[in-house]
A and B are shown apart, each in its own frame.
Chain A
Amino acid sequence: MTSDRTVSRLARILALIPYVLERGSVEVDEIIEKFGYTPEQLSRDLDTVFVCGLPGYGPGDLMEAYISDHEVIVDAADYFSRAPRLTSTEALGLLSSGLTALGMGEESAALESAVAKLAKALMPDADAVTIDVLDDTANVGLLRKASVNRQVVSITYRSIAKEETTDRQIEPWAVAHTLGNWYVVGHCRLVDDERTFRIDRIRRIEVLDEQFDRPVGTTDPVIGYSPSDGDISCLIDLTDRALWVTDYYPVEVVEERDDGSTVRFWSSDPELAARLLIRLGDTGRLVEGEEVRSRLVALGESLLTRYS
């Protein structure tokens, strides 16, 4: 299998050649920015183009490609006068980028008309691809605006696992949507550390008149759970009817059997594990984890009282 990097390099070369051919010559800086090149990568790729061409491969058969006076020049490459068509994955990627941005409440006439043109060219009918990313327009919009303007916000937050509601001030670095939920990532002044909050669990938002400095490299966060120091873990035996858990929770499969699996479940609070165990009923069994066990018993008794 040829590596993705080789394919990416070729893709960029096949996009670069028609761009320069159409214009005759293009400033090096423009190419570097539009195609994401470093100067070294660009000269390497031009050198490659320079030694390729038609069979015979004599001087008159090869393409011309070089830099002269800070201009990129490509010639004798008419067969590459147009870039290759989009693959279906690329087409879907671009289309879903546009649809997602529109779905996030991006109000832009240019984006709307661009997506309309894409949809017309790339899809058989207008609703062949639909993307829903927004349930809670108002709060996502508020936080997004505060993040763009670098404004501190005060929030009332109900934590996912802990049954507690807190007021805190946060410096919202970025807003991100992952796997169906919206999050705000930023500096939390209550704990004086970086925190991620699920936006649907923010009950109240107030945008304050104070500005913050955004640390470099925080505008494009990748949201995902990774166990941290204070987190607890437990071992759970899952029967085959409970294997869906491995799709929905960040568990580590410890052992796989014909009739199920044993998994290690991490969470910041044993309550989350206890709730899952009750949901599983007799299709899951706690093997190890004393904190979780005592929480499971307490929650179970409380539920039995409520449902008696």
Chain B
Amino acid sequence: MPRGRPLRGQNWGVQNVIERVLNLLIYLLESSRPVTADDVRYTVQGYDAQSDDAFHRMFERDKEVLRRLGVPIKQEALDVWEVDYGYTVDPEEYALVDLQLNQEERVALSIAAKMVRLGGSHLGLEALLKMGGVERGVGLEPVGADLGAGAEVLGSLFGALTERKEVTFAYKGSERRVRPYGIAHRRGHWYLAGGTDEGERVYRIDRIERLKVADKANSFKKPRAYDIKGAIDRHPWEAGSGDRIEAVVEFDPEVAWWAARTLGLSEPDDILQATIPVSNVDAFIGWVLSFGDQAEIVSPPEMREEVRRRVIGSMST
């Protein structure tokens, strides 16, 4: 049996962090009682010979690494004055739940994870590693989907909604407190749907700033009848709190088929005249203007006037 200290490469620093964090995790998993920072400092290899400050910075960083790995570290006060804290990792809480996937299911998920990007990387593959690796012999299919960026906020929101924790964040300049009911990807954006004191609301996740997740779990119940799919509108001009206005639009033959497809209508042979319910006038006018001069709002007259106003506004500057 080979034994003997392996040769060190150049990556001393990184190598040290990895060894230290592994030793720390083993210590936390094996301790039958909460351990203090001092216990760690004088017991776990890699922390000795540090000044007080350097040790505390190192320990904080390493705990953060463990959290990012999914390790649930519990922290509890060891005295009533909360001077000294003890840390534990419960082996049962640490361990991955076996999802009992069979071989075909693992292959199917491996293919899916290779197709889908979230936050610029294939996050599903990282999950599969923990679940026993990515299945072999799975080639890349020539099809992919990019679900956009911002994976960290999404992950935090997903964590909050699975644990039924309230969240607070800044949105369009004001603070919001929301009970997260669900998240949805539609039209290329991620949305959060949830309950507030003013009623049910939907938020664009990429506009959420300074997200904070409350500590208390199971702090609310999702209303049984709440329908997330119904809460998020299909078209941008259906979003908004304004009254619904019926607009009539005429599309020229060259673009009529495309407008019909967007609206879910059957494709016309010639021009298309469509009646469209609108809640968000601004988004709607923007969409019609994306057809250039090949589409015309026929009614209502106020919307025609708004288009004229914009044309004149843009040309006079």
Residues of B within 8 A of A36 (CB): 125, 129, 134
Interface string of B274-317 (1 = CB under 8 A from A): 00000000000110011011101100000010011111111111
A14 at the binding interface (Cβ < 8 Å): yes
B185 engages A132 (CB within 8 Å): yes
5 contacts between A and B (CB under 8 A): A6-B14, A48-B19, A94-B128, A148-B141, A284-B314
State the Cβ distance, A37 to closest chain B Cβ, in Å.
10
A129 at the binding interface (Cβ < 8 Å): yes
Given contacts A36-B134, A177-B145, 5 further A-B contacts (CB under 8 A): A11-B126, A84-B94, A132-B187, A200-B261, A219-B142
Residues of A within 8 A of B293 (CB): 299, 302-303, 306
A90 engages B116 (CB within 8 Å): no
A285 at the binding interface (Cβ < 8 Å): yes
Q: How many A-B contacts if CB must be within 8 Å? A: 383
Q: Which of B145, B152, B183, B314 is in CB contact (< 8 Å) with A89?
A: B152
A49 engages B22 (CB within 8 Å): yes
B206 at the binding interface (Cβ < 8 Å): yes
- Looking at A53, A89, A106, the one whose CB has the most chain B CB atoms below 10 A away is A89
Question: Do A114 and B108 form a contact, CB below 8 Å, given A55-B27, A200-B262?
Answer: yes
A206 at the binding interface (Cβ < 8 Å): no
Residues of B within 8 A of A181 (CB): 188
A residues 161-175 near B (Cβ < 8 Å) are 163, 165, 172-175
A94 engages B97 (CB within 8 Å): no
Question: Do A129 and B27 form a contact, CB below 8 Å, given A93-B118, A200-B262?
Answer: no
Residues of A within 8 A of B161 (CB): 124, 128
Q: For residue B3, which residue of chain A has the nearest CB?
A: A59
4 smallest beta-carbon distances between A and B, as pairs: A180-B188, A93-B123, A89-B155, A34-B133
In the bound assembly, the distance between CA atoms of A122 and B162 in angstroms comes to 7
In the bound assembly, the distance between CA atoms of A13 and B286 in angstroms comes to 51
Interface string of B65-93 (1 = CB under 8 A from A): 10011111000000000000000000101
Q: For residue A144, which residue of chain B has the nearest CB?
A: B143
B69 engages A84 (CB within 8 Å): yes
A88 engages B112 (CB within 8 Å): no
B222 engages A117 (CB within 8 Å): no
Q: Which of B101, B111, B122, B146 is in CB contact (< 8 Å) with A178?
A: B146
Q: For residue B316, which residue of chain A has the nearest CB?
A: A282
Interface string of B154-195 (1 = CB under 8 A from A): 111011011010000000000000000111111111000000
Q: Which of B27, B109, B158, B229 is in CB contact (< 8 Å) with A127?
A: B229
Q: Which of B15, B94, B119, B127 is in CB contact (< 8 Å) with A94?
A: B127
A223 at the binding interface (Cβ < 8 Å): yes
A15 engages B188 (CB within 8 Å): no
Q: Which of A30, A54, A113, A277 is in CB contact (< 8 Å) with B30?
A: A54
Q: Which of B17, B140, B227, B313 is in CB contact (< 8 Å) with A2?
A: B17
A residues 1-36 near B (Cβ < 8 Å) are 1-3, 5-15, 19, 30-31, 33-36
Question: Do A11 and B140 form a contact, CB below 8 Å, given A104-B145, A286-B317, A300-B314?
Answer: no
Question: Do A82 and B96 form a contact, CB below 8 Å, given A128-B161, A175-B142, A307-B311?
Answer: yes
A131 at the binding interface (Cβ < 8 Å): yes
- What residues make up the interface of A, taking CB atoms closer than 8 Å to B? 1-3, 5-15, 19, 30-31, 33-36, 44, 47-55, 57, 59, 64, 66, 68, 79-80, 82-94, 96-98, 100-101, 104, 106, 108, 110-111, 113-114, 117-118, 121-125, 127-133, 135-136, 144, 147-148, 158, 163, 165, 172-181, 200-201, 203, 214, 218-223, 247, 271, 274-275, 277-286, 296-297, 299-300, 302-304, 306-307
Interface string of B7-21 (1 = CB under 8 A from A): 001000011011101
Question: Do A52 and B19 form a contact, CB below 8 Å, given A85-B97, A92-B154?
Answer: yes
Q: Which of B26, B159, B186, B314 is in CB contact (< 8 Å) with A132?
A: B186
In the bound assembly, the distance between CA atoms of A271 and B255 in angstroms comes to 15
Question: Do A97 and B290 form a contact, CB below 8 Å, given A7-B65, A89-B155, A158-B255?
Answer: no
A48 engages B140 (CB within 8 Å): no
B148 at the binding interface (Cβ < 8 Å): yes
- Looking at B29, B94, B126, B136, the one whose CB has the most chain A CB atoms below 10 A away is B126
Interface string of B205-243 (1 = CB under 8 A from A): 010000000000000001000011100000000000000
Residues of B within 8 A of A219 (CB): 140-142, 144
Residues of A within 8 A of B118 (CB): 92-93, 96-97
Q: For residue B159, which residue of chain A has the nearest CB?
A: A88
In the bound assembly, the distance between CA atoms of A2 and B61 in angstroms comes to 7
A130 engages B314 (CB within 8 Å): no
A108 engages B108 (CB within 8 Å): yes
Q: Which of B18, B102, B185, B227 is in CB contact (< 8 Å) with A6?
A: B18
Residues of B within 8 A of A48 (CB): 6, 15, 18-19, 22
Question: Do A128 and B131 form a contact, CB below 8 Å, given A10-B21, A55-B27, A94-B109?
Answer: no
B261 engages A98 (CB within 8 Å): no
B94 engages A127 (CB within 8 Å): no
State the Cβ distance, A76 to closest chain B Cβ, in Å.
11
State the Cβ distance, B120 to closest chain A Cβ, in Å.
9
A278 engages B311 (CB within 8 Å): yes
